[in-house]
């Protein structure tokens, strides 16, 4: 009997050992790099407490107390330590104020702390922004997105964002709340320059380039690049009155045909890792509480498998600001049910979930859904297997010579020549001349960069005259009139002995910026140049000397006086930190402008909305006492050489709705200088079942030509390019007549028709 009992005991003991061993192995499956991501996520999720899951759905800012000492040791506030008790989904901007190597060291220590002080060792993702490159000390400063879009060069834009993705990862960052896929058509909106312009197709191609570059074609996410969080989904830049946080009025058809495509392409073509929801509403439904938008469209229709994140505090604002929730808890349920996975910043939204689940256990299924998406993101980023960076590599490879040269190359391709009367530019070499560099947008480094390019051929005098604003970050004030008048007099005195005047005008970073939720302002009711800039230009024009305007700005401006009185205008938007080097090269003929406008430039704010792709019926009537044409058309941009288009051909003039055709056109450089031209293809649907746009950009290609050289550019027109939302709100390609237009800008095109049949 004793032997029997002993035998049974041994069997039970061995079974227990085997079971314990198997359980332990299963427990650690999420740490097995060879296992599938889906299995690793499921394994980890099954072991997490509700509190740990909710922590993965939250993100806080490094300003809660994350620093590194002079001796290189991380210092955390008690507040931060408390926030990390159960782990954390992510942290915004850790180390952004430090050098790349210091940031990498801090983020290594921070990640190590998070892993070692959480029960399951779940790493966090660290998040940045990237409007001019990585928004952190020591990184390469590139041009703003709308400036890059002015290059109309998809490969170049991808290369820029590839460099941004690499620099961010080197310093220990993993995601960026960029790029912006919003269609910017209202220049009153202070955040206009964060996007890629007014056109759906151009923005779509730029977004695909940006996301693909940032993510290293998705393959780079595990080691070398960062994930893109495309924003703001959806319709954000269409705010009423052009003011941040205002309501959004978009028809369902406009939303689907014009606003959605860049986001859809970011997901389906570029595999954007994340999506950020919009501050606004669609048809009265707050975007952060919109299940149709965040689940039906984003996931069910488009197949998005990434994670969604709120814009700052916006889940809580469903209660406090949008007023669509009776209580903070109701706001949480609205966001969670709609499909919001991560709550950015708030301590009054998803932080409430553990307590809410006590009275409503069904909540945990929604928590699991969101947590699963966050964990999947972290596995894709390789954070469990490769959580740390090498500070020395960050030091060596951030803002290196290749990145600096790339920023300069992008600047050169982004500058737009708007006007060049009597071939004022480029300046011809001859007897030594004196150039006056003047104006309120003059930078401290302008003179040095001009001297570096000009060599010994020119003398320079410099006078800024006045600042446009007082530089207040929250609510900037325009410089007092008397100070601007004095500044104009100073500039006038300095330019008396100059042979050529180069005046820097437009807007500083305070005249167009984000209007933060509190008291900060950044939108404008006018798009005229701020202050006495028109008067300054008229004063300079009275000298009788050639006046070249270098236009720097973050929003479209109604530059009527500039267009009328300047001898030449170089439109730069906002270039990189080396922008004036590129400007100098243009002025001195060491480079040829090739940029094209990504927006339509109106003559007056009263013309808004004034994008080129409005419905044809919008062009029937104009206004009393003013011309109703653009000051400068979408796609416009001059060169130092000239191009001639000829022989537009279509592969078919009668084709079926499921067939593609090819449009070809010859372009010749008829000037004396090598140059690049953007060949643009537009399509007009002559008769549709719904009122159709006057024309739509559907293709473009940038081509370089030597003097006398001719090339044939061919662009394919697919059935998808002709699709739109029909009468029944379903996508349709309709039979009938179409017009193909090709040329160098939206207002100078050669055209040929074709007919689509069943």
**Which tokens in the block code for residue 572?**
């730069």
How far apart, in whole angstroms, are the C-alpha atoms of residue 144 and residue 594?
17
How many other β-carbons are positioned within 10 Å of the β-carbon of residue 544? 7
Q: What is the DSSP letter of 442?
A: -
Residue whose entry in the numeric block shows the structure tokens 């039906």: 296
Residue whose entry in the numeric block shows the structure tokens 């007056």: 604
- What are the phi and psi torsion angles at 279 (to 5°)? -60, -30
To 10 degrees, what angle do helices 401-414 and 154-170 make?
150
120-124 own/partner pairs: CB under 8 Å, 24+ apart: 120/30, 120/44, 120/47, 120/48, 120/52, 120/87, 122/44, 122/52, 122/56, 122/87, 122/375, 122/378, 122/384, 123/378, 123/383, 123/384, 123/387, 124/87, 124/88, 124/89, 124/90, 124/91, 124/383
Please report how many Cα atoms fall inside a 13 Å half-sphere around the Cα of residue 82, on the Cβ side. 7
Say whether 311 is catalytic: yes
Nearest to 81 by CA among 122, 128, 117, 121: 117
Annotate 391-432 with DSSP letters as a single string. Answer: HHHHHHHTT-HHHHHHHHHHHHHH-EEEEEGGG--SPPP-S-
Contact criterion met (CB below 8 Å) for 649 and 226: no
- Element of type H or E holding 506: strand 500-506
378-382 own/partner pairs: CB under 8 Å, 24+ apart: 378/122, 378/123, 378/125, 379/37, 379/40, 379/41, 380/37, 380/221, 380/222, 380/227, 380/273, 381/125, 381/174, 381/175, 381/221, 381/222, 381/226, 381/227, 381/273, 382/221, 382/222, 382/223
Nearest to 149 by CA among 186, 189, 187, 201: 201
How far apart, in whole angstroms, are the C-alpha atoms of residue 656 and residue 636?
33
How many other β-carbons are positioned within 10 Å of the β-carbon of residue 299? 17
Which residue is catalytic, options 199, 311, 314, 567? 311
Residue whose entry in the numeric block shows the structure tokens 């669609």: 282
How far apart, in whole angstroms, are the C-alpha atoms of residue 411 and residue 408?
5
**Which tokens in the block code for residue 568?**
């030449």
- Element of type H or E holding 314: none
Partner residues linked to 125 by β-bridges: 90
Give me the helices (H) in 215-279, please: 252-254, 260-268
Residues ≥6 apart with Cβ < 8 Å to 217: none
- Secondary structure (3-state) at 40: helix
Peptide bond into 110 cis (omega under 30): no
Buried b (16+ CB within 10 A) or exposed e, 635-664: bbbbbbbebebeebebeeeebeeeeebebe
**Which tokens in the block code for residue 681?**
């293809």
Cα pseudo-dihedral 130, 135, 140, 141, rounded to 10: 80
How many other β-carbons are positioned within 10 Å of the β-carbon of residue 81? 12
| Residues comprising the chain, all counted | 758
How many other β-carbons are positioned within 10 Å of the β-carbon of residue 459? 15
- Element of type H or E holding 27: helix 2-27
**Which tokens in the block code for residue 191?**
């955040």
Residues with catalytic function: 311
């Amino acid at each position: 009997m004793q032997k029997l009992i002993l035998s049974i005991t041994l069997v039970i003991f061995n079974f227990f050992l085997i079971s314990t061993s198997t359980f332990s192995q299963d427990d650690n499956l999420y740490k097995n790099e060879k296992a599938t991501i889906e299995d690793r996520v499921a394994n980890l999720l099954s072991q997490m407490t509700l509190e740990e899951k909710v922590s993965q759905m939250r993100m806080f800012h490094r300003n809660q107390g994350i620093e590194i000492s002079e001796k290189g040791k991380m210092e955390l506030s008690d507040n931060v330590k408390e926030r990390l008790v159960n782990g954390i989904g992510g942290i915004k901007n850790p180390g952004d104020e430090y050098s790349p190597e210091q940031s990498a060291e801090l983020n290594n220590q921070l990640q190590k702390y998070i892993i070692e002080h959480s029960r399951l060792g779940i790493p966090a993702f660290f998040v940045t922004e990237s409007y001019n490159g990585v928004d952190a000390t020591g990184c390469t400063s590139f041009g703003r997105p709308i400036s890059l879009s002015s290059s109309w060069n998809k490969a170049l834009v991808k290369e820029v964002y590839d460099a941004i993705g690499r620099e961010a990862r080197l310093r220990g960052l993993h995601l960026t709340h960029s790029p912006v896929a919003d269609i910017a058509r209202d220049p009153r909106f202070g955040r206009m320059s964060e996007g890629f312009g007014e056109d759906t197709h151009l923005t779509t191609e730029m977004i695909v380039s940006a996301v693909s570059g940032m993510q290293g074609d998705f393959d780079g996410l595990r080691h070398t690049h960062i994930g893109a969080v495309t924003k703001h989904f959806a319709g954000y830049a269409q705010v009423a009155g052009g003011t941040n946080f205002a309501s959004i009025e978009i028809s369902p058809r406009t939303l689907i045909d014009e606003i959605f495509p860049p986001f859809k392409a970011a997901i389906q073509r570029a595999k954007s890792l994340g999506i950020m929801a919009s501050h606004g509403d669609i048809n009265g439904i707050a975007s952060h509480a919109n299940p149709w938008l965040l689940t039906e469209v984003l996931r069910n229709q488009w197949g998005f498998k990434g994670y969604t994140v709120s814009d700052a505090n916006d889940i809580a604002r469903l209660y406090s600001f949008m007023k669509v929730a009776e209580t903070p808890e109701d706001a949480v349920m609205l966001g969670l049910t709609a499909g919001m996975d991560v709550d950015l910043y708030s301590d009054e939204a998803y932080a409430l979930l553990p307590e809410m689940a006590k009275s409503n256990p069904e909540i945990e299924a929604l928590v699991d859904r969101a947590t699963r998406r966050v964990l999947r993101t972290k596995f894709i980023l390789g954070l469990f297997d490769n959580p740390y960076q090498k500070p020395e590599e960050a030091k060596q490879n951030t803002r290196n010579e290749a990145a600096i040269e790339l920023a300069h190359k992008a600047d050169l391709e982004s500058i737009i020549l708007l006007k060049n009367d009597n071939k004022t530019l480029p300046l011809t070499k001859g007897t030594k001349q004196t150039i006056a560099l003047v104006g309120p947008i003059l930078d401290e480094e302008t003179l040095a960069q001009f001297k570096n390019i000009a060599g010994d051929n020119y003398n320079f005098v410099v006078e800024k005259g006045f600042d446009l604003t007082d530089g207040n970050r929250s609510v900037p004030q325009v410089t007092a009139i008397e100070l601007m008048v004095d500044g104009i007099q100073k500039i006038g005195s300095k330019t008396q002995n100059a042979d050529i005047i180069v005046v820097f005008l437009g807007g500083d970073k305070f005249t167009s910026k984000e209007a933060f939720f509190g008291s900060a302002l950044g939108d404008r009711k006018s798009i005229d140049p701020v202050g006495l800039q028109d008067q300054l230009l008229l004063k300079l024009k009275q000298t009788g000397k050639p006046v070249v305007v270098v236009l720097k700005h973050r929003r479209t401006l109604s530059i009527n006086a500039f267009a009328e009185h300047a001898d030449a205008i170089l439109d730069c938007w906002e270039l990189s930190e080396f922008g004036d080097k590129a400007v100098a090269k243009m002025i001195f003929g060491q480079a040829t402008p090739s940029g094209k406008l990504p927006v339509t430039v109106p003559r007056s704010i009263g013309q808004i909305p004034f994008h080129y792709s409005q419905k044809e019926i919008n062009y029937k009537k104009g206004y009393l006492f003013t011309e109703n044409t653009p000051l400068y058309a979408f796609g416009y941009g001059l060169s130092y050489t000239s191009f001639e288009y000829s022989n537009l051909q279509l592969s078919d003039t009668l084709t079926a709705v499921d067939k593609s055709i090819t449009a070809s056109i010859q372009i010749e450089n008829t000037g004396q200088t090598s140059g690049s031209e953007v060949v643009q293809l537009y399509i007009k649907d002559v008769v549709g079942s719904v009122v159709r746009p006057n024309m739509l950009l559907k293709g473009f290609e940038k081509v370089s030509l030597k003097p006398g050289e001719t090339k044939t550019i061919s662009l394919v027109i697919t059935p998808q390019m002709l699709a739109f939302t029909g009468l029944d709100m379903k996508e349709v390609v309709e039979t009938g007549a179409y017009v193909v237009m090709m040329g160098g800008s939206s207002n100078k095109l050669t055209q040929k028709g074709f007919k689509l049949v069943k």
